[in-house]
C-alpha cells in the first residue's frame, strides 16, 4: 500500500510542477508561447525567447530535463504532439525549427538551425541560418548534433 501511495504522490507533484511551469512561461512570454496545460516536465526546462519569436508546443510534451530552448528574434519553433526530450537536450532557433508528432529525442542532442559566419577577421557579428524540418515519429539518437 505504501508503494501505491508513493507513486500517487509522485504523480501529483509532477502535475503541480508542470502546471507551475505552464503559468510561469505564459506570464513571462504571453502570446509568444503556445503550450498545453497538461504535460510531463520531470526535470528542469529552461525557455528563453527573444522579442517577436514564437514557440508552439503540441499536446503532451514530455521532458526528462534538464533541457534548454532558445529562440532568437523573429525565430519560430514548432514541436508536435507527444514529443519527448531526454536529459541535456538543447534547441536553439535563429530562423525556424519544426519537429513533427511523436518524436523521441535522446540525451545530449543539440538542434541548431544556424552557424556563425567566419570572415577574414574571424567570427563576424551575424549568423547564417536555414530552417530545419524533422518529420513525424523520428527518433534522434544520443549525442547527435
Tens of pLDDT, residue by residue over 15-37, are 898 899 999 999 999 999 999 98
* Predicted local confidence at residue 119, as pLDDT: 78
Start-to-end C-alpha separation, the chain: 45
pTM of the full structure: 0.89
Please write the tens of the pLDDT for every residue from 48-93.
Answer: 999 999 999 999 999 998 999 999 999 999 999 999 999 999 999 9
C-alpha cell at position 64: 526528462
Please write the tens of the pLDDT for every residue from 33-44.
Answer: 999 988 888 889
Q: Which helix (H) or strand (E) holds 58?
A: none
Amino acid at each position: 500500500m505504501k508503494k501505491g501511495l508513493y507513486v500517487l504522490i509522485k504523480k501529483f507533484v509532477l502535475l503541480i510542477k508542470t502546471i507551475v511551469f505552464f503559468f510561469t512561461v505564459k506570464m513571462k512570454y504571453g502570446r509568444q508561447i503556445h503550450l498545453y496545460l497538461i504535460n510531463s516536465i520531470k526535470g528542469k526546462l529552461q525557455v528563453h525567447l527573444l522579442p517577436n519569436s514564437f514557440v508552439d508546443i503540441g499536446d503532451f510534451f514530455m521532458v526528462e530535463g534538464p533541457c534548454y530552448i532558445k529562440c532568437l528574434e523573429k525565430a519560430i519553433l514548432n514541436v508536435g504532439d507527444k514529443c519527448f526530450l531526454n536529459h541535456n537536450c538543447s534547441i536553439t532557433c535563429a530562423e525556424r525549427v519544426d519537429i513533427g508528432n511523436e518524436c523521441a529525442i535522446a540525451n545530449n542532442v543539440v538542434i541548431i538551425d544556424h552557424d556563425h559566419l567566419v570572415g577574414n577577421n574571424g567570427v563576424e557579428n551575424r549568423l547564417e541560418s536555414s530552417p530545419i524540418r524533422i518529420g513525424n515519429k523520428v527518433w534522434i539518437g544520443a549525442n547527435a548534433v
